[in-house]
Structure 1
């Protein structure tokens, strides 16, 4: 029975592992962090998962873990995969090497970064971690999409002072998020660009430009939520994404999930579907080449 390494423990990777097991293969799941992937960054209830109205991300993570355990799928959390060699050897950051004839790669997304002076002061902490901080200074959030607005809402509801800045005067965030931000009276600066960050005793100074005018804010934390980008490691996907996606037999690698989905169609549901498609494609290809 063929073994397949599934790399990435978000919804797409978990879905792929479950479908591989159901279709008669032996998946082994590797996750560099914890099962759930980007679900760990979602703090508000999930409103659009069919059959699960307003389930929380934490509840969904626990159900994914339970599903993997029910199907007896081996899971290695905290195991980062750094390369997949031409001899079909999977290389772990620990130095361990394991043979797998195929890998299903569900890398997910990472936060897009700003290349500005003082970028080292941009926090890598999650909203939940920032909630544990005690500060009277505002938390500056950069962005106009769901992630930026969700973070602002969560922090404001916890009575933390928040400032939102966005380079445009219209937002990509869901209408209900926009309405909630207005209801909470969160200050929003539009046509505003973060230029640099300066560290001073007891604070950060965020230097911004708004319509040709320079402004500065003393803040406690700078959060950048300007969108996501594929978190693909070159050692795992040596070919361009467009070449890798449909080519199990040639590359022995199949990328799946949000990292290879068009931006407007990224969702938990599409990640589930992508995992199913990757599993079924592999099984069909194995049968065809048997």
Structure 2
């Protein structure tokens, strides 16, 4: 590609369910979108094995395969999918200026941000190795595979409590591993887990290692007050210590909450910058599901299409 600045109507940043759905709608509307995949093509779903809760796949589907389907559908209608990471943006100019891989410059009439979020992990080698083989950062996505089994969940916030309660509905036992002798969660959520007979809270507890060769067989935990170690027999290990939205590159221009999630105008995907729209987990810290991300991707493409029609009519 030459170094002259390329001009596009719709630039989509990110390639999960939100980005690809936006691409499907924008390309069918004749807007010739260009989509950059980002550092993790396919997004969080590529580290998910079985997806059973996305409508239209009655037998379930592997996460990476599903994202491949999304990509093919977007390309079929004319989306240009490119590999690359957006490293800088200037949203003060019209059209917007976007830099990819620190060298490619693109001017875009509209930008759809669908950069998603990344789960925070404990940073254990065994956790990484067994990711998708019993280790998960989404109880709602993967809990079903452990019905009737014993599992553990790490975390002490509202999300961890919610997910522990969710797991207790389908699993036989849930160990909740809390690093301190208190939780960050709201009182009502704390009560919910403390009063659940299926949930055992292990206070002052940290995970040393997730046990198992090809799948999770247990977890070695240590009490950080007494130093006492213990092996829990579990088949599922859930990490619920938060998510980090991948929005750092937009911070100078886009309004965000304190965690870095992009603020959108309620009922739309509009940001505080005209012509810039946000969808998927980059702006949703509540639901974080593939199907809700796809829904907001559709909204973003429709919002972008209306915006383009308006500026062309002026």
TM over 0.5: yes
1:146 aligned to 2:140? Answer: yes
1:102 aligned to 2:100? Answer: no
Say if 1:147 and 1:68 are closer, same or farther in 2 by CA, change over 3 A. Answer: closer
What's the CA shift string for 1:44-102, capped at 9, x where partnerless?
A: 3413x23322421244223112212312311113x111221134221123432222232
Conserved 8 A contact 2:27-2:74: no
1:256 aligned to 2:279? Answer: yes
Where 2:299 maps in the other structure, the secondary structure is helix
Instruction: Give the whole-Å Cα distance in 2 for the aligned partners of 1:239 and 1:162.
Output: 39
Instruction: Give the whole-Å Cα distance in 2 for the aligned partners of 1:3 and 1:174.
Output: 46
Say if 1:164 and 1:274 are closer, same or farther in 2 by CA, change over 3 A. Answer: closer
Where 2:52 maps in the other structure, the secondary structure is coil
Once the two structures are overlaid, the 10-residue window that deviates more, 265-274 or 20-29, is 265-274
C-alpha deviation, 1:230, in angstroms: 4.6
C-alpha deviation, 1:254, in angstroms: 1.1
1:242 aligned to 2:263? Answer: yes
Residue 56 of structure 2 corresponds to 51
Say if 1:170 and 1:258 are closer, same or farther in 2 by CA, change over 3 A. Answer: closer
1:42 aligned to 2:48? Answer: yes
Instruction: Give the whole-Å Cα distance in 2 for the aligned partners of 1:186 and 1:143.
Output: 15
Residue 90 of structure 1 corresponds to 98
Aligned match of 1:25 in 24, 31, 49? Answer: 31
Aligned match of 2:128 in 116, 122, 125? Answer: 125
Instruction: Give the whole-Å Cα distance in 2 for the aligned partners of 1:144 and 1:89.
Output: 35
Say if 1:234 and 1:174 are closer, same or farther in 2 by CA, change over 3 A. Answer: same
What's the CA shift string for 1:139-180, capped at 9, x where partnerless?
A: 9x79894368479x49x99xxx975555499652585x5466
Say if 1:50 and 1:144 are closer, same or farther in 2 by CA, change over 3 A. Answer: closer
1:172 aligned to 2:163? Answer: yes
Instruction: Give the whole-Å Cα distance in 2 for the aligned partners of 1:143 and 1:33.
Output: 19
C-alpha deviation, 1:198, in angstroms: 6.9
Conserved 8 A contact 2:52-2:59: yes
C-alpha deviation, 1:181, in angstroms: 3.9
Instruction: Give the whole-Å Cα distance in 1 for the aligned partners of 2:129 and 2:9.
Output: 35
Residue 245 of structure 2 corresponds to 231
State TM-score, norm by structure 1.
0.69
1:60 aligned to 2:54? Answer: no
C-alpha deviation, 1:106, in angstroms: 0.5
State TM-score, norm by structure 2.
0.64
> For the aligned residues, what is the CA RMSD?
4.1
Say if 1:288 and 1:229 are closer, same or farther in 2 by CA, change over 3 A. Answer: same
Structure 2 residue runs without a partner (length 5+) = 1-6, 178-199, 210-218, 256-261
Instruction: Give the whole-Å Cα distance in 2 for the aligned partners of 1:68 and 1:194.
Output: 48
Structure 1 residue runs without a partner (length 5+) = 114-118, 132-138
Conserved 8 A contact 1:46-1:53: yes
Aligned match of 1:192 in 183, 202, 211? Answer: 202
Residue 120 of structure 2 corresponds to 112
Instruction: Give the whole-Å Cα distance in 2 for the aligned partners of 1:6 and 1:67.
Output: 15
Say if 1:51 and 1:35 are closer, same or farther in 2 by CA, change over 3 A. Answer: same
